[in-house]
Amino acid sequence: MDKPEIHFDEPKFNYEELELQLQSYEKNPQGFQHDGPSIISIKQGIRAGRAGSVAVGGCLLHHDNVIAENISKANMPYHRLDLHAEMVLLNELEDRLCDNKKPGMRNYTLFTSQEPCPMCLARICFSQVGKTYYVYRDAQSPEAGELTNFERMPEGFQILGSRLVVEEADCSPVLKEIARQVWLNSIDGCVNEWFERY
């Protein structure tokens, strides 16, 4: 059987150029309430890409205060394809909460630089983290389209997630495009790595 192929757009900027774009961008919390955590998530995405993984990052907030930042570790230091940025952050949160039977999950917010995949959305639904916001949604990828990934989840997961907020971040279109470019710098190489494992 032939190795499958998925093609993505070529990035227009490298990580260094995208870092400069982030540095020159002035946060606008009045116009875009999620600019701050969106910038953190994109910076973590660049860190992930430079480390050799899918260039997706994120952060966790508790009562609007950042308590953790981390990256996708799906490709590094070795293949752990469950360790998307959302999974890494939720692992950290659940380790932190440990035996707390009533952790008040609605008070936690997860930010990520890319729309969570179905695997991560299932975890988000089970964790009951109150809000999840993503900077960029790849409506052009083979798995995307008019419906969000959450809207395409099986009914049981949608019921599990019915009290949760899962939506695009209220951040500048400039940041959305930077997040997209960061992701494009890594995705072809990472997908090819996965396919080489056939």
pLDDT, tens digit, for every residue of 87-134? 999 999 999 998 888 999 999 999 999 999 999 999 999 999 999 999
Domain boundaries, the chain: 15-22+32-196
pLDDT at 143: 61
pLDDT at 15: 98
Report the topology of domain 15-22+32-196.
Answer: Cytidine Deaminase; domain 2 (3.40.140)
Q: What is the pLDDT of residues 179-188, one digit of tens each?
A: 999 999 999 8
> Buried (b) or exposed (e) across 167-198, using 16+ Cβ within 10 A?
eebebbebbbbbbbbbbbbbbeebbeeeeeee
Residue 86: C-alpha distances to residues 12, 66, 119, 190 (Å): 26, 15, 10, 17
Q: What is the pLDDT of residues 13-28, one digit of tens each?
A: 999 999 999 999 998 8
194 contact partners, CB below 8 Å, separation of at least 6: 79, 81
| pTM of the predicted structure, to 2 decimals | 0.93
Could you list the beta-strand ranges (E) of the chain. Answer: 57-62, 65-71, 108-114, 131-136, 165-168
pLDDT at 1: 67
Does residue 172 carry a pLDDT above 80?
yes
- The pLDDT confidence band at residue 71, using thresholds 50, 70 and 90, is very high
pLDDT at 43: 98
